[in-house]
Structure 1
Amino acid sequence: MTRRLLVVLALAAALVAVCAATWRLAWLRGIDALQQQAAVRADRTVIALGDTLERYESLSYLVASHPVVGEALETGASDAIARANRYLTDANAHAHADVTYIIRADGLCLSASNWDRPDSFAGSQYRFRPYFVDAMGGRVGRFFGIGTVSHVPGYYISQPVYRGGRIVGAAVLKLNLEWFPGTDANEPVFVVDKHGVIFLSSVPAWKYRAVRDLPREVATAIEETRQYAQQSLAKLPITPVRALNASDAHVVRVGAKRFSPYYLLTQRRLGAPQWQLMTLAPVDSVLDDARNTTAAVGFGFVSLCLLAFYWRMRRARLREVMKGRALLQKAYAELNQRVEERTADLSAANAQLQTEVAERTRAENELRAAHAELLQTSKLAALGQMAAGITHELNQPLSALRTFSDNTRVLIERGALADARENLEAIGALTDRMGKITNQLKLFVGRAQTHNARSPVMRALRNALQLLQKRLQRISVEVRIRDVACLGDRATQPAPAEAGLYRPVDPAANDLSLVAYCDDLRLEQALINLVGNALDALETVDEPRLSIDIDVGLDALAIVVRDNGPGIPPDVLPRLFEPFFTTKAMGKGLGLGLAIASSIARDCGGSLSAYNEAGGGAAFVLTLRRADAATTTLPDAASSR
């Protein structure tokens, strides 16, 4: 008992260690991929914004250098101001800026591109604006703030205007950058100024929030320059959680609530305006992937432990059977010796003969007991195969149930009740399917004859692809059909994939014209195993492709599942359909999928074969007898699942 307890504790500790290591590896791999994507996105955004600002900075220099602008600022004459108004209006229209205007040395705006509108800047005083101070000091002014006249936020670029070697004023361009961050709230993007105040954001509620505490002197300076008008500049609750290997990337939590979401924060600096671009990428997908991977590895570890326990119990049972057989042989030898001894003295010792008959009867009873032990061992072996088969067949519906349940939760949170209802119907259909799978236990006890069952091929294929839709997201899938007069040998030797003899079809269409002699559920099981086997072969392929071709004859049809994977090794082909034979890594398969599909094909009067394509990859051919759709009564789509 103590030894068993120690073994259980050791296995539990190993399970915890394996799950912890798997979680860490999956987390690091997911975060690394997310970090690379976020870095590319941030660099692309910084380049786009920098190019825009640099282009308009050159335009402000051209406006400041125009003689009409210099004349208007130096003389202040009404005709010079009128010419400047026309020039600024034309330049602003061609540059697609918000407003272009010029300011006299005393801070008064003399001329503007919106001079003829009610919100004209002309006549306004801008002595307090930092960009005016920079221009009067002979520098390029760069400033983002809320307009004092228009009350519209914008980016201001100012250039000094020289006349006769002295600065007579400033030329200013105002740009509306509200278009820049976009409106993607799932992956927020925002830009902060040198003080840490957000002024551009894809989340409107975050605008004019500070990413850090503002010193008193900074808050006073912002208020004096009226940079953000009357905004409160409250702090946005961004809490650092974990620093990554890159200095510009961190895992943070945004929000003050207990279950606030986690994001990957990526920062990039812009040169001249001293701005900082920040992007947030949600890490929920990384957590889900790590959680799913850890669960899969843990389940595989537990399965291996159970298989090892079953193997050990089977070995112990076999040892007992062998011991009983040895005892039985010894008993037979003793019995024969006694019979020989008693036969010579039969006529003289009838009483002794009765004793020998009793001994023989006892030996036969021992033989029957040993035989019963052997039958019990065979039943246990069959029970193991049966449990492994059911486990294999339930894996795919369980994965689909997880996907549909997660999607349903998200849809309910979004209020998409119609879509959630469709997912719940699909979940109900999958539970019916799992019930049918478990009801097939009788097939392991006595082979049920399914030669008269009929099933629409396209509906079974559609259900199989829907069940595997999560694994098919990155795969190029093509379903095609070819009509031939009589299949004959072509059922096992289909046309090449590139022969141009096939026409594409949509598996989602409700096509009930093509019917095969096979039960609905068993046909779906065979297709799921064949497509799943092809998906396993495509895991390491850079450009995976999967094609499902259907050769239709008068009395038979062949379903060909092709992939462009590495193919089947020659030494594996002879054993491909043996139960528990697999070439996959430990914990990634039981070796029952192809064996089950081959058994289904034989039970339905068909066959399953495989070969390697000439151009690379493998092909599996499922041949079935064809039924007449016109005389076949088919169940509806819901009941077939």
Structure 2
Amino acid sequence: MDVGSQEGRAALASAPGRAGRQVAHGPWLAFAASVVILLVGGVWLAGHVARERALAQVEARGRAAAALDVAVLRSELEKQRSLPAVLAADPDVIAALDTAEAAKIIALNPKLEHLSAGTRAAVIYLLDRHGMTVAASNWREPTSFVGNDYSFRPYFRRAMETGTGEHFALGTVSGRPGLYISRRVEGAGGALGVIVVKVEFDAVEEDWRRLGEPVYVTDRRNIVLVTSVPEWRFLTLTPIAPDAPAEIRASLQFGGAPLSRLPPRPAALAGREDAVEAVLPGARAPAGYLDLALPVPSTPWTLHLLGSTEPAVRGAMAAAQLGTALLVILAAGAAGIMLYRRQRAAATAAAALVARAELERQVAARTVELSAANERLVHEMEERRRAETELQTLQDELVQANKLALLGQIAAGVAHEINQPVATIRTYADNAALFLARGEAAPARDNLATIAGLTERIGRITDELRAFSRKATGRVGAASVAEAIDGALLLVGSRLRQQGVTLTREAMPAGLAVVAERVRLEQVLVNLLQNALDALVGRPDPRIGVAVEAGHESVHISVRDNGPGIASEVMAALFTPFRTTKPSGLGLGLVISHDIVAEFGGELVGRSEPGGGAVFTISLKRST
């Protein structure tokens, strides 16, 4: 390390001490005042936002619960409304009122009793045109309605006038509240009477009680009819007109209920008109609620649900205010640290300049070294790229050389294959000339047809030789397995016949193709066939088998011979360059074949058969 660097470090080490002595008190007083203002304002704002959110959640939950309660109440009403309509058209009911026969009227009592039990109606009873009960489902009970006069009831008068009526009232006999649903019974001569179904809401109220939050239903005069708090029944939300109680008591609708005000009273809650405060039965102190009201369809009623606000609001505000206070304190601590560091940073700026200059000098020197190393790396990469290109060129030339070497091995056989047809062509041509000279056209045509077939055979051989000798394009695609095998067998066919080798070729699926290049695949097959022929020299009954096994994703091409097989020491280095068992061989044929198959994405393996002989298998991907 040079002297400049040591001086920079010394300056940095001594700067903090001086900075600590230079801290000013003015900024800290302003900082403390800002923290206090931010803490008070943040806590208040967080409490306000949390309260509004909690109230919104209470309202959303309450309205969802109220909608469900309305649906349950409406379902119960609609189910019971269908019963009077059905009974008003019942032949037994019409006949009993029309004839006034005692037997028919008495027979209705068990029927109504059975219907009441099955539909869960509180009571079903039949009134004649004068309002007298002639039959009832509670005919067996001491509180039976049979014989009672209900002509004063509004539901009777309304049904006789308009056909239907509904009236919520306290039972004059049972003393139990319920909704009376009435329907006029029509006969041939007009109105015969009224069928009435009383619906009690004990089960509905019990379900509401289990939910925990107070629920009650009011009529158009704001009188509570159905409620989960029994003490609130027949109380009112608003004062009733002075003459109304007398009229109500005259109809015996609510018995002797005082019709006093409900406990919930409006509460002061900013921005909320539905806020109320109430003391529930059994509670010691009033609690806050949201009075969430929904109309009950098909009725003049309104359902009210009191959603409790205090636990949710109190918890939300406490959590929000505590979180905000912690956040402000943490932010103030972070800001204080930043302020302290800022004052220290101002004091250490000079020392930092010295250290920065030294660092820049070192970075510049290191940059020069890295640039030189980068240039060397680029040069090495170029050299490696050139070496790889030369290696690929050498590999291609080696493959071509191997191909030409194979052509040299099969040249004599191919020459024989061509010389024999050429001699035969000469003979047939001479004979055709003699036949033409004699005027014998038919034999001459036969000879010329034979000559054409022989030239075709020569053409196939020479075409295959030209294709085989041509350099491969290197493009891998779909290659026909049958065409590759046919070409390889055509090239080694002469040698097969010269050695007297029996060739067995198994059938394969039509149109089978693999991912390869046809010329190079044919070269691999010629290599394997030539090796098999070399292994069969001097062997009795020589045989070579070519088989193709096609799978769903791969194809396996096997070349099998019944020669001496592969020795174990040769098997260990089967695909090693320059390892061969032939006196004049270079030991490159199998290596090149192995590399070609590997370029196709396949595999070439060899093995000895237990009974003698060797088998080489080419595995390639099947082309779709």
Q: Under a length normalisation based on structure 1, what TM-score does the superposition of the two structures give? A: 0.47
Higher helix proportion (structure 1 or 2): 2
Between 1 and 2, higher relative CO (CA 8 Å, sep ≥ 6) is seen in: 2
